[in-house]
């Protein structure tokens, strides 16, 4: 029998009904904080560590900018968007990641994320009808991973193993997340995300604070403020 966890005390936020019957219930927690860390609203267990998974991507992309890698390789706004969010594996996403990799002297084979079908249903159906196999470029995290590689190349670090938790790329990511969210970086447990990169766990309240600081970085250092507010140094070309 599974032991009870702190999350078991979370309230029921969603009831799924089928006909007149509640078929399943789903518990959760909510945290709304400002950039000072003050909680405006909380519900449930907000101090227990959670894995933010892909919600972390904007924070994981901070070192790409702060190291100067984004400027050195002239990353466009759309490339930064690919580093900051999951994509759906459509042709224009795949081509954009491939162009970025080529510019930093790398290929799809250098990506640590595995292949999977596009998240976009129409794109997935086209591949299946054409009997084409997905590549690592279709992985919804390929933009994030290209950002990691871009940073490693700029810093003169090995591309191989860039997704390892001890690699300097991930050490910078861990430090940036901890500083932004107000958590000691070494105190954050970690596990491997679905894309093979480490994901760090922290309290939901701390995560909410980190997002508030992304929206309002006025209390952060001037260097971090500039990174968060950065725009492309050149006009972003169209996706296609």
3-state secondary structure of 203: strand
Indicate whether 214 belongs to any domain.
yes
Which range marks the domain in which residue 143 is found? Answer: 49-228
Element (H, E) at 23: strand 21-27
Distance separating the N- and C-terminal Cα atoms of the chain: 53
Distance CA 137, CA 127 (A): 13
Indicate whether 199 belongs to any domain.
yes
Distance CA 52, CA 183 (A): 14
For residues 181 and 209, the answer to whether their CB atoms sit within 8 Å is yes
pTM of the model: 0.91
For residues 149 and 120, the answer to whether their CB atoms sit within 8 Å is no
Torsion of CA 162, 207, 185, 170, to 10 degrees: 0
Indicate whether 13 belongs to any domain.
no
Indicate whether 131 belongs to any domain.
yes
Residue 41, token pair as written in the block = 């609203």
Check pLDDT > 90 for residue 236.
no
Instruction: Output the CA torsion sign for 165, 168, 170, 174.
Output: positive
Q: Which residues contact 38 (CB under 8 A, 6 or more apart)?
A: none
Indicate whether 20 belongs to any domain.
no
What is the total count of domains within the chain? 1
Indicate whether 6 belongs to any domain.
no
Indicate whether 112 belongs to any domain.
yes
Q: Which residues contact 112 (CB under 8 A, 6 or more apart)?
A: 145, 162, 163, 195, 196, 197
Indicate whether 90 belongs to any domain.
yes
For residues 115 and 136, the answer to whether their CB atoms sit within 8 Å is yes
Length of the chain: 240
Can you tell me the mean pLDDT for 13-31?
97
Share of the chain above pLDDT 70, in %: 93
Distance CA 133, CA 57 (A): 26
pLDDT tens track for 31-65: 999 999 999 999 999 999 999 999 999 999 999 99
Read off the pLDDT band of 168 (50, 70, 90).
very high
- Per-residue pLDDT at 230: 83
């Amino acid at each position: 029998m599974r032991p009870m966890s702190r999350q078991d005390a979370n309230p029921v936020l969603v009831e799924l009904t089928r006909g007149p019957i509640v078929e399943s219930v789903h518990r959760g927690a909510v945290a709304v904080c400002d950039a000072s860390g003050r909680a405006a609203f909380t519900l449930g267990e907000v101090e227990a560590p959670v894995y933010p998974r892909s919600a972390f991507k904007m924070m994981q992309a901070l070192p790409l900018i702060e190291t100067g890698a984004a400027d050195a390789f002239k990353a466009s706004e759309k490339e930064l968007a690919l580093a900051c969010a999951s994509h759906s594996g459509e042709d224009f996403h795949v081509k954009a990641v491939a162009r970025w990799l080529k510019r930093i002297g790398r290929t799809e084979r250098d990506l640590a994320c595995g292949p999977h079908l596009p998240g976009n249903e129409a794109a997935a159906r086209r591949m299946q009808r054409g009997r084409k196999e997905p590549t690592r470029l279709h992985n919804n995290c390929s933009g994030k991973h290209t950002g990691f590689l871009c940073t490693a190349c700029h810093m003169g670090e090995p591309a191989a193993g860039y997704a390892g938790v001890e690699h300097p790329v991930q050490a910078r990511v861990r430090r940036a997340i901890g500083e932004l969210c107000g958590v000691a970086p070494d105190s954050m447990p970690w596990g491997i995300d679905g894309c093979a990169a480490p994901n760090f766990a922290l309290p939901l309240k701390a995560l909410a604070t980190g997002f508030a600081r992304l929206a309002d970085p006025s209390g952060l250092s001037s260097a971090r403020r500039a990174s968060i507010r950065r725009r492309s140094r050149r006009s972003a070309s169209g996706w296609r």
